[in-house]
Amino acid sequence: MGLKNFRSSWWHAVASWTWNAQDETCGICRMAFDGCCPDCKIPGDDCPLIWGSCNHAFHLHCILKWVNSQTSQAHCPMCRREWQFKGS
């Protein structure tokens, strides 16, 4: 076998990103997590997900709207447990 050397001078790869969540859609707006909430135009960093202490995820904008609309203590729209932001 002769002398040979095969190498790539660059490799331009393609990936998609996804939220590391159990569900695919937001329980509030019913839109895909990998899309964005109805108020946003651009998905990803601009329209992030947020987890509750109950481990349910929502679009940040959706849950904030929900929390703000509640007169008393807010509950998770999925499991009705008291809403706490995870880790807070």
Q: What is the DSSP letter of 51?
A: E
Q: Which of 44, 79, 82, 85 binds Zn ion (CB under 5 A)?
A: 79
Q: What is the DSSP letter of 35?
A: S
Q: Hey, which residues between 24 and 43 contact another protein (CB under 8 A)?
A: 32, 34-35, 41-43
Question: Within 10 Å of residue 80's Cβ, how many Cβ atoms?
Answer: 9
Q: Which of 40, 50, 67, 74 binds Zn ion (CB under 5 A)?
A: 40
Q: How far apart are CA 51 and CA 20, in angstroms?
A: 11
The footprint of Zn ion (CB under 5 A) covers: 26, 28-29, 37, 40, 47, 54, 56, 59, 61-62, 76, 78-79
